[in-house]
Chains A and B, each alone.
Chain A
């Protein structure tokens, strides 16, 4: 059974490769081909399986749009109904598809971009196809489809249509001040989770540190955080409700840090300033080390601590992540104002 499937798959691949090997008109690849065609669901590219006679059949299946069952599931197409193929040729693993003028109808930029994306994704999913050349009424479309330069062979659909990658999210978090630019790596990790947590706290979302759809949706609408108070110069704001610390220069928030302040309201609110700094401070009452400590009132300091939960948990100090505390230590020099704000009732 397994062998017969392998043979069937291999024969399909051989047919497709044979068709791709030479310059051939549309009818040349007449073997049955199983591949995905790409539609849209809530504006995002979504694949649907099809079997059709060769690449032209797959393109015709794409142009036909989602079937009734798929439409009921929410699949849509940006390709205008009734768009016809004028010609389709394959040469050197590049498919040149010439479509009727109807493919250009409408003025909605999102739709115009999406329909080319559907076509490119569908053809690129066919084994062996390396690129797509789009022609309209035998000519070269210029400027009609946003995001695509169709004077050239298209190798990939434009990334704007796909969900944001991790690197994009990290870049946005860094640009908004929730993480350091050095944290933009494209790889998941603790630094990203902490930045997401800080963003969730600032935005009033569930404090999970998990990059989920709610976070990406909120990031799409996010603007740079603004200080609670209007004061010139360099200063720190600690927001007890949101559980974040802000580094501020001339009322511009430079960084937002995830913190954990005193449990049961043990961190006093008010206007203070940094009066004592110790790179390795020893807490006598609690017999623990507090690295990168910047004291701003009595024995209460911003400092690094191994445990920084998403809620107020300390004896009154402001706990920070080991990665963040040295940055705050460097920023909060002697005399730097520290405003502790209890912003929620």
Chain B
């Protein structure tokens, strides 16, 4: 019994691969369409991952950073630090010297030759105070208070950026989810139509199979395997194009805008392959089952 089941399973998988190879034109067209739709899903994954990374990166920074005038003496800087601590809503204040800031910057861009070359030419940075507020709501009032203090050259206040990024992230997620759903439906229909064509082309064979006692799973199996193959190969092609494309883009961006905290392409490649190939498999499976649901019944009862 088990041997019979294994033989049936092998026959189903082999049948699916043979069917797939039997109509290369249709297979290539279906793979191409599935790849294009899954490529867009891949682009969404890349965009969403990077927006999330950017948001996380910005929000993990201090609530605000006060850059001090380069002319300030250490005593004045210390006095200013004490003064800032007294402002209502301030929780902690930490002094960061320009040397420490440079070290931190060098660590962040370790391995980035061009940036290291620029940083080694001298230290253009300023001493600063990293200020954390008791609650995010206090940030705006604290910023208004510290901006007026003598010796404060510039205040960087990432709270607004984080809030905007969070909005962008939500929008990207919603638009992406809607887009992904639309693309999934389109990919599903493409696979479904490819299988429908294959079933119609082999209607007579199916009819004979059913007449001589083939179970429905034996008839459906090869088509489902074929659909899953179409989807998986489409997903793999999309993942490869997406990963290579993003790798190239990330290199260009690293040179043009080295401050952008991009997700390394090596981190994203694995996820793209898994997500898109599994997505292709699922779409191929669902699409072929959908196509077969009615067609097999029609073929068997024609």
- Does A associate with B in a complex? no
